[in-house]
Structure 1
Amino acid sequence: MKLKLILKKIISNVIVKNLTKTDATELLISLIEKSENAKDRAACIDSLAKLNVKTERIYKILEYSLISDDSPEVKEAAIKGIVNNFNEDSTKNLFEWVLQNDNSIRVLKSVIKSLDSVNKSLSKILEKKILLRYSKIFNVIPEEAKFFWDLDLIMCKKRENDIIGRSLKDLFNASKLFPGIPKNFPLNTYKPYFMTNKGRIYLLNLGGCGLEKIPDSIKLLSNLIYLNLSYNKLGSIPKSIGSLSKLRSLNLAHNRIRSVPNLINSLSRLKYINLSFNFIKPVPKALLKLAKQKFSRRYIWTGVIPIETPVLGLLEILTGYQLSILDKHKVFDINQEFFNAYRINDEGHITGICIYDGELNIPLMSIIPEQVCTLKYLKVLIIPINKIEFIPNCIRNLISPKVTEMRYINR
């Protein structure tokens, strides 16, 4: 008879009083001691916990399973049995020992999660033991170690590595160490790493990690200045980023972001943001506000009339590159390896825009914002249309059907 049926029969016989709890306990203990299969031992421990027998002997069996068994699955079952059947006073020291000595992320998480359902205050106290371990591993202050703990929980699932800190250490140790701070996090910066000052993180690069979400605890990195989350799978901008009051540089290029929340405008020190190659369409009001307030002034200084500068600021955000002004007597040279420029007339109206990476033969953004259509004096618009996912109708109306079929859009 399969073990699952045996365990079900034991519990059923206890319920209908065909079997005493004492006899059922002995049967289950015997099965635990004889089994060489971790899943079977875990199942037996689950059944033992269901009997709700709160003797010292049962506690010792669960304690031994938690401390000595090699299987995280068995340890998880033991944790649940201890939390559900024994009071916190008798288990606190045991769990403290586990959190300081066990190396399984799965086990550590199980302790915190199980305790959180019955005693949140104790759960928070014991979680600090874990944070101290992460603090030592990554040489950061305990308050910021919470981010590494949460990130490790995400990464260990992706990498199938259950050892505390191992997934993150493998991630960071494999990275290329750049001297100093990379300017604006170039798009080819895929290697994850971080930099600290007196135990506080001021630079964090998690580009190319395949992350679908960022731990909310990133808001605890209060000194963070440079953040690169490019080349991930983020579907939205994490709300917790709005708490990073010192953030100056934010790279979110090549994700799956569809909208931009108002919180982005709360980043008062932000000097650089890259949202290229996301799914943002149409351009939301929050992004227009950001372009107008933080990224348009520099273009006023070059002579562009104020009403048109937000368009250039918006293009800067959507490409990740500042546009340079081109002398009105020069032509756009698309043979250059990189060309990101605009041209104005004597009155300061924008008459031409070129956004192009000649080396890769691709545009520097995936959408053309409809705000470009507000430029009444625009005569030249050069953007490779390959990889452009969204071209608003107003842009199509600016140019003839014959020209739209070409690699470059011109008028």
Structure 2
Amino acid sequence: MRHRNLLLARVAASAIFFGNGFGIGTWAAQLPRFKAGLGLSDGELSLALLAFALGAIVLMPVVGFLAARWGSRVVTVTAAFAFAASLLLPGLSPSLPYLVAAALLAGASNGAMDVSMNTNATEVERAWGVPIMSSFHAFFSLGGLSGAAASGLLIALDVGVVPTLLLSCAGMGLLFLIAAFWALDNRERAEAGHGFALPRLEIMGLAVLTLLCLLVEGAMVDWTAIYLQTVTGATLEFAVAGFAAFSLTMTICRFTGDFVVRRLGRALTLRLGGLLATLGLALATLAPFPVSATIGFALVGLGLANAVPVLFSTAGETKGIPPSMGVAMVATMGYAGLLLGPPLIGFGGDLMGLRPTLCLLVVFALVITAVSGRVLRPATV
């Protein structure tokens, strides 16, 4: 492939990751407005979050087959447009059942997009010849930050939920349309490992750590703004800024992640990241004030930014397991944590309150800190 075409394919893949992150950031920023507009409790809102998760999980296994049959470009672009369109539906929902149905469709589109765009990015990385996957995920984080910031600005300007979603979805659609012309079109059959696989004993520790990391990350995405607004008493605009702080630190650290891992090593990077996440969560829950909680959530983003890339890389080098299968094994439990963690936090919020429930995340971060060195060392020997 000519260098110019490959460069355009990389730009297109980065744009698609950015657009997906923008959509997730928009979704997260609008959750307090969905909750307030429909008068929902934490548990009732969690039904919508659970529907979003189940929609993704149900469709994910099918997408790998479709990408192998039709090519990752076709499936990625189709899923991207579906995600942009379906993200408007929650804002049109007049009651909880309609919100749950809309979240199910949006989640299914997002799950399809997640698998297909990562498959396409893998093909671009293979053609590029050196590891560049972290940069794609950095653009996803940058998109999340941009989506939250754009929503915060529109909220400050007193723009309603539906116009906000309409503007965001139109912008995403335009970006995906441009990227569609440049995206890499590779119709070769996908390698084994792009689907889900049950973890084997040799890699179970890595899988559990990935689950914990992504559970905390998922909780931050969906509950940061609501926690700041309902627990700390922050304004809606400041609450959206809390999610933006988490996304900003995660974005910066993902762009510099390769350098950090080379200097510190994987085990120390993960251990220090877990410690930073622990301190951040402890600050947010023990000092529930807008500024201190926002600083805490920023520390969580700083700590977790490189955790999952480290775990995926280690899984790909585990002795006795093919690289693609190792990554698929940890992804199985990791995605379960990312998608199912937020609704579980909501149900816990109904039972115990949101602040005590988030204290459980401190325990998860402590586990990451305590066992990461012991888990990573045996995995590669």
Task: Note whether the superposition's TM-score is higher than 0.5.
Answer: no
Q: TM-score, normalised by structure 1?
A: 0.21
Q: TM-score, normalised by structure 2?
A: 0.22
Q: Kindly indicate which of the two structures has a greater share of residues assigned to helix.
A: 2
Q: Kindly indicate which of the two structures has a greater share of residues assigned to strand.
A: 1
User: Bigger relative contact order, structure 1 or 2, given CA contacts below 8 A and separation 6+?
Assistant: 2
